[in-house]
Amino acid sequence: MHSFSQRVAAQTRPLIETFRNADMRRLQLAWLGSILGSGAYYVALAVYAYAHGGAGAVALVGVLQMIPAAIAAPFTAGLADRFPRRLVMVGADTARAALMIAIAATIGAGGSSWVVYAILTVSSIAGTPFRPAQAALLPTLAQTPAELTAANVTSSTFESVGYFAGPAIGGFLLAATNAETVFALNAVSFVWSALLVMGVRATEPVASREPSEDGQPAGGGGGALAGFRTMRGSRDAKLLVTLYAGQTLVAGALGVFVVVTALELLHGSARTVGTLEAAIGAGGLIGGVVAVALAARQRLAADLAFGLALFGAPFLAIAAWPRLAPAIAGLVILGIGNSLVDISAITLLQRIVPDEVLGRVLGLVQGLLLGSLGIGAALAPLLIHAFGARTALVATGVFLPALALAALPLLAKLDAPEPASVDLLRGVEILAPLAPATLDRLARSLIEVRIAAGTEIIRKGDPGDRFYVIEDGEVEVEGKVLARGSSFGEIALLRDVPRTATVTARTEVLLRALERSDFLRAVTEHAASTSAADAIIARRLGDLRADL
């Protein structure tokens, strides 16, 4: 019993630390408020659209919410890499609050539904920078990799709560008041979100400094295409996004299959549709708990594959046993799989994508996911028409488990344990302020260098190409001895000058080296790290002048 309680405590500790972190707590509660408000207004929007144009109008507002946002997201998300991410989120919230008030005023004044739809489209686009900025800010607030995973668990769980409870709140409010009141209250939820985000005080990376190809800060160049270039150049990122998009493709089809299952296979009613949708939401909540338990193993890529399999398998079960109880159970399992995929995919992307382009990459992912949802929703009726409902369910259900199985060898490489050299880097003054995800990425980029005693490692006047950390042994720099954990070589890289001193191996030494571009990208993107580097450079140059 004691061992079990210790295990539970160890698994839940990162989640508890997430809520003890004041900045993280504000960010998560802002996300919850935004999701609850959005979920409530979707109900009012659907009812309003149906009253003004029937089912066709409902479909139209779905397209207006999804397609323009999918196109805009890869470009608007670039704001999260050019400006403080908190300000980007506050700006998105403020814009959406104003647009919700405009919709409420238009409806209250009896204005044209087409004006409402136009404002709705602008609001959908205005909201696209929020989620990438939030997800890109989380790694800088998390103290450990486990806390980052726990933060994503919380975000995913709050999203499930919002999509589960939001429509219920919206339905109640709509019954008690009217559509314009629900839209106005959604504006309040965005104001709530903005106020909480404004309270986040942690230091952000210097997002506007984007390294050029040689690693030098280039003043923010690269634009929206930087996200595309990063994705194209990273095999791991492409793999994760492909799997994530495959899951959302099936998720887009799910909305159609739920209706068809409820009305055709189960011979139910609209209430049956609601029951099945609720089962998915309940599974999402359970999935957050499951994700916390699995996160303790630090095998996020395996969790992603498991989530894909869980998301696809219920389609097969419903096709084989078209009964209400198995359908509910299957969709609960599907909801669990959905949470595992969301949490694992986003956390892995946060770890492997450089911070200076993380917002744009996440924006690109957001656009691809929205597009995949739309394509899935369009393909589902075609499959049902061509093969029948049960065969279409089987074909859809097989897709994700097969995709996960094919990707397993590549996913296994992403689950390699944290390099032991992370602790070495964490003890380096310049690198200590960096986020855990950045340190992990740097540790995987280190080059092992072994030098015999008496050998020159760096010669004064030579060009700088690497930054060094001593793992074992001693080196001598202008009469001073440096041992394990010490670093050297940063002045030439950060000041773009020749080497300022000669460094010689006093004993046989084992060094870990970072290439110029990797070092500069990590240090110059983070204000605290840059300040630490400036202090060290000033101190070392002062020592050199004192020795002359």
**What pLDDT digit, counting tens, does each position of 105-126 carry?**
999 999 999 999 999 999 989 9
Using DSSP, state whether 517 is helix, strand or coil: helix
The band of 91, judged by pLDDT with boundaries at 50, 70 and 90, is very high
Distance of CA 172 to the CA centre of its chain: 32
User: Would you give the DSSP letter of residue 509?
Assistant: E
Contact yes or no for 214/72 (Cβ under 8 A): no
**175 falls within a domain:** yes
The CATH number assigned to the domain holding 56 equals 1.20.1250
**213 falls within a domain:** no
Which range is least confidently modeled, 91-95, 245-249, 410-414, 466-470? 410-414
**DSSP H helical segments within 77-205, as ranges?**
79-82, 85-108, 113-126, 130-141, 145-176, 179-198
**371 falls within a domain:** yes
Same domain, 40 and 176: yes
d(CA 329, CA 333): 6
The band of 538, judged by pLDDT with boundaries at 50, 70 and 90, is low
CA angle 425, 429, 433 (to 5 degrees): 80
d(CA 234, CA 230): 6
Residue from 410, 392, 511 nearest 455 by CA: 511
- Given a cut of 60, is residue 310 above it in pLDDT? yes
Final residue of a structural domain among 398, 417, 436:
417
Tokens 């959005």 correspond to 38
The CATH number assigned to the domain holding 246 equals 1.20.1250.20
* pLDDT (tens digit per residue) in 423-453: 888 888 888 777 776 787 788 888 999 999 9
**266 falls within a domain:** yes
* pLDDT (tens digit per residue) in 125-183: 998 888 888 888 887 787 776 777 777 877 877 777 776 677 677 777 877 888 888 88
Q: Which residue range forms the structural domain that includes residue 518?
A: 421-547
Contact yes or no for 300/352 (Cβ under 8 A): no
Final residue of a structural domain among 396, 417, 438:
417
The tally of domains found in the chain comes to: 3
Q: What is the pLDDT of residue 6?
A: 47
Query: How much is the pTM?
Result: 0.68
Residues β-bridged to residue 449: 511
- Given a cut of 60, is residue 290 above it in pLDDT? yes
- Given a cut of 60, is residue 228 above it in pLDDT? yes
Contact yes or no for 473/508 (Cβ under 8 A): yes
The band of 104, judged by pLDDT with boundaries at 50, 70 and 90, is very high
Final residue of a structural domain among 417, 441, 474:
417
Q: With residue 530 as reference, give the H or E element that holds it.
A: helix 527-547
- Given a cut of 90, is residue 506 above it in pLDDT? yes
**220 falls within a domain:** no
**157 falls within a domain:** no
**209 falls within a domain:** no
Average pLDDT, rounded, for the chain = 80
Residues in the chain: 548
Same domain, 411 and 440: no
**149 falls within a domain:** no
What does the block give as tokens for 493? Answer: 């890289």
What does the block give as tokens for 220? Answer: 């923010």
What is the crossing angle of helices 22-76 and 2-20, to 10°?
Answer: 70
Find the farthest-apart pair of alpha carbons in the chain and give their distance in angstroms, rounded.
91
* pLDDT (tens digit per residue) in 52-71: 887 667 767 777 877 888 88
Q: What is the pLDDT of residue 540?
A: 60
Same domain, 444 and 461: yes
